[in-house]
Amino acid sequence: MKKTGGFTLIELMIVVAIVAILAAIALPAYNNYVARSKLAEAYSELSGLSLSMQQYYQDNRSYKDVTSSSSPDPWPCASGNLGAGQYFSYTCSPSGIGAPTTTTFTAEAIATSPDLTTGGSALMLSINQDGTKSTPQVPSGWTAPSSNCWVHDQSGAC
């Protein structure tokens, strides 16, 4: 009798089970990594918007829109200057906080990416005229940070 080479069904099932276990461990870690990488957009845009508002204040002594259509220094919070990024939308006049005043402003980034908007709530990051960073809202399954900071991951770490 000749011995034929190959794998038995049991051996193949063991390999499939091992691959499934590894995928079950790796996939959530990868998804968390992808979600964290998307936060960099909001950090960058909010920091840039805050800097633009500070420069505008230096020129105009107000965070309100005091520019004219012929002004060389456009208001950073104008609808044409804000908008939607790839994973977030940005605003300077969020509901509940109000539009920028002479001495204050709050800019917000609200997640539009599906992995940052779970359970009916979206991740929201904000910054104000003092440079205070906060995370007023987190998606379901995320832990809210214990201090004023921008959340870095689902654990609520800053």
Spatial CB neighbours of 38, under 8 Å, sequence gap ≥ 6 = 86, 87, 111, 113, 115, 116
Is 116 among the domain residues? Answer: yes
Residue type at position 91? T
Residue among 80, 93, 88, 77 at smallest CA distance from 42: 88
DSSP label of 84: B
Over residues 63-94, the pLDDT tens digits come to 887 766 666 677 888 766 776 789 999 888 64
**Is the residue at 119 inside a domain?**
yes
What's the pLDDT tens digit per position in 93-145?
644 455 677 888 888 999 998 888 877 788 999 999 999 999 999 988 888 88
Domain annotation covers residue 52:
yes
Domain ranges, residue 105: 34-63+74-158
Q: What is the pTM of this model?
A: 0.78
Which CATH number belongs to the domain containing residue 122 in this structure?
3.30.540
Q: Total domain count for the chain? A: 1
